[in-house]
Chains A and B, each alone.
Chain A
Amino acid sequence: MSALLTVEDLRVRFPTRTGVIEAVRGVSFTLGRERLGIVGESGSGKSQTGRAIMGLTPLQAQVTAKRLAFDGIDLVSAPAKVRRDLRGKRIAMILQDPKYSLNPVMSIGRQIVETLRRHEKVSRGEARQRALDMLAAVQIRDPARVFDLYPHEVSGGMGQRAMIAMMLIAGPELLIADEPTSALDVTVQLEVLSILDKLVTERGMGLIFVSHDLRLVSSFCDRVLVMYAGKIVEEIAASDLPNAKHPYTRGLLNCMPVIGADRHPLPVLDRKPEWAL
């Protein structure tokens, strides 16, 4: 499998008043056209890894890497113009909460059309048609009606589908999904995931799925990176997860209450300082 994305020794630092905080400390992995999960708790650096690849790190942060290449393009030294053209067109990102990440004063259809017309020269009529087709592809029943709705007029699940439509319309090769279903109800979660899964498989995209829910990620991805304190502590095939070696991975797996398992009290993580070394 040819590598779509190569990350070697990625570091993200935030200078603060009290010193430099290193959120990502030397992350390396390669991604082909596969589904990769990144799992960790809040503050483990999983989202910052995704954002650094996307080029959405805040201005004051410093991103360094020995190598950060997408399809042969060096992302660290690429000028802003090149990154802008990549972003949305070839690399797209789905964010956690549609309530906050959609533009509240622009109809859903216009937001999707905007993405498309930024990256491709298409007529208005064609753009509208493709947006409608895309809305239908994410299983929105009445695309023509939803096209003219504003984000506050749709439910969370519908908003998240609209966001998926917006991200996929330009036909990206790499999709970064940052907790795409954490803000949704359990029943809606599965619907959104199966739509995402279907589209990713059909279009042969690479997917990076960032989440704190290890079980969910392992049921969705081929391979899982487990992050702790800005580092990858374990890389494991999803099917191999029950045999995870690192105590942190095992802790994450065991701490969820499972229907039918009578465990009182629940096992909790005993965080060891040496994990962060």
Chain B
Amino acid sequence: MTQAVAVENLSVVFDDFKALDDVSVEVASSESFGLVGESGSGKSTLLRAIAGLAPATEGTIRVGGREVKGTRRDKAFYRAVQMVFQDPYGSLHPRQTVDRQLMEPLAVHGIGDGERRILKALDEVGLGSGFRFRYPHQLSGGQRQRIAIARALILEPSILLLDEPTSALDASVQAEVLNLLEQVRRDRKLTFIMVSHDLGVVTHMCDRLAVMQGGRVVERLSSADLVAGRIAEDYTRSLMVASGGFRREAQTA
């Protein structure tokens, strides 16, 4: 199996704060890999470091076998790696139509045939061509996240970085977006790296996952192990308990 993304001994330091501390993660191609942890655990920073949005202080990041350095990435990188952000209200340009937002990556990369590609991308994320000339404020949260996914897919990347793609959405809409993501992954044999604080979502979507706490990976395990309760770390277990919902007995503890 070839490696899609390999991160070795990565540290990211902001002033005096160590956001990532000696993190190593390997993701095989066409695998779906999950990153779990609470706020401030560094899971989003890891994703952003891979995308070149956070500066790597130490360590190496290899994408598709090639090492990437600093925060500079070439065009070929962005054709291979795209990202979907958490908040669909913040990640779309409020004054551009869906059509223009989808046209932008094509224009940047000098890809023609925009008309056909935009219609295809909209179709793929389950929105008809009727959505093409709408503005973000005319769309619901779920529809916006679909547009964000369409924008990521329009360049036909091989790796998709997903930063809490459904946590701003309602439970019922979350199911729709997760199904959509699973389907495009199957159809296009994509590699997913998905960040979430919801263990249910991650075990549903990913084969393997890494649990992060305080900028470090505390445990790596497969979803099957997690489901079967083969957990080594207490922290993972506490996340597992937390995702089971509220129990009244918990209050006495």
Contact A256 B200 (CB under 8 A): yes
B141 contacts partner chain A, Cβ-Cβ < 8 Å = yes
Instruction: List the A residue with the shortest CB-CB distance to B199.
Output: A259
Residues of A with C-beta under 8 A to B246: 190, 193-194, 197, 216, 219-220
Contact A41 B173 (CB under 8 A): yes
Q: In whole angstroms, how far apart are the Cα atoms of A265 and B126 in the complex?
A: 15
Q: In whole angstroms, how far apart are the Cα atoms of A75 and B245 in the complex?
A: 35
- B interface footprint on A12-42 (CB within 8 Å = 1, 0 otherwise): 0000000000000000000000000000011
Contact B200 A265 (CB under 8 A): no
Contact B203 A257 (CB under 8 A): yes
Count B interface residues, CB 8 Å.
38
Contact B251 A194 (CB under 8 A): yes
Residues of A with C-beta under 8 A to B244: 259
Residues of A with C-beta under 8 A to B141: 42
Residues of B with C-beta under 8 A to A251: 172
Contact B175 A264 (CB under 8 A): no
Q: In whole angstroms, how far apart are the Cα atoms of A266 and B198 in the complex?
A: 16
Chain B 234-253 residues near chain A, CB threshold 8 A: 238-248, 250-251
Q: In whole angstroms, how far apart are the Cα atoms of A252 and B171 in the complex?
A: 7
Contact A186 B172 (CB under 8 A): no
B179 to chain A, nearest CB (A): 4
Q: In whole angstroms, how far apart are the Cα atoms of A197 and B172 in the complex?
A: 26
Q: Given the known A-B contacts A190-B250, A219-B247, A260-B227, are A212 and B170 also in contact in the complex, defined by CB atoms under 8 Å? A: yes
- B interface footprint on A133-166 (CB within 8 Å = 1, 0 otherwise): 0000000000000000000000110000000000
Within 8 Å by CB of B250, from A194, A264, A269, lies A194
- A interface footprint on B172-184 (CB within 8 Å = 1, 0 otherwise): 1111101100110
Residues of A with C-beta under 8 A to B251: 194, 197-198
B39 to chain A, nearest CB (A): 5
Within 8 Å by CB of B240, from A212, A259, A263, A264, lies A259
Contact B171 A268 (CB under 8 A): no
Contact B172 A257 (CB under 8 A): no
A80 contacts partner chain B, Cβ-Cβ < 8 Å = no
Chain A 238-268 residues near chain B, CB threshold 8 A: 251-252, 255-260, 263-268
Residues of B with C-beta under 8 A to A214: 171
Interface-central residue, B179, B243, B245, by most chain A CB under 10 Å: B245
Q: Given the known A-B contacts A186-B197, A190-B246, A215-B245, are A41 and B172 also in contact in the complex, defined by CB atoms under 8 Å? A: yes
A185 contacts partner chain B, Cβ-Cβ < 8 Å = yes
Contact B172 A268 (CB under 8 A): yes
B221 contacts partner chain A, Cβ-Cβ < 8 Å = no
B221 to chain A, nearest CB (A): 13
Q: In whole angstroms, how far apart are the Cα atoms of A268 and B170 in the complex?
A: 12
Interface-central residue, A197, A215, A266, A269, by most chain B CB under 10 Å: A266
Residues of B with C-beta under 8 A to A259: 199-200, 203, 226-227, 240, 243-244
A210 to chain B, nearest CB (A): 13
A72 to chain B, nearest CB (A): 32
B192 to chain A, nearest CB (A): 14
Interface-central residue, A41, A155, A190, A216, by most chain B CB under 10 Å: A190
Contact B172 A252 (CB under 8 A): yes
Binding site for A on B (CB under 8 A): 38-39, 140-141, 170-176, 178-179, 182-183, 197-201, 203-205, 226-227, 238-248, 250-251
Given contacts A156-B39, A189-B242, A194-B246, 6 further A-B contacts (CB under 8 A): A41-B173, A42-B141, A185-B39, A219-B246, A251-B172, A257-B201
- Pick 13 A–B contacts, CB within 8 A, sort by A: A155-B39, A186-B243, A188-B38, A212-B171, A220-B246, A257-B178, A257-B198, A257-B200, A259-B226, A260-B203, A267-B175, A268-B176, A269-B175
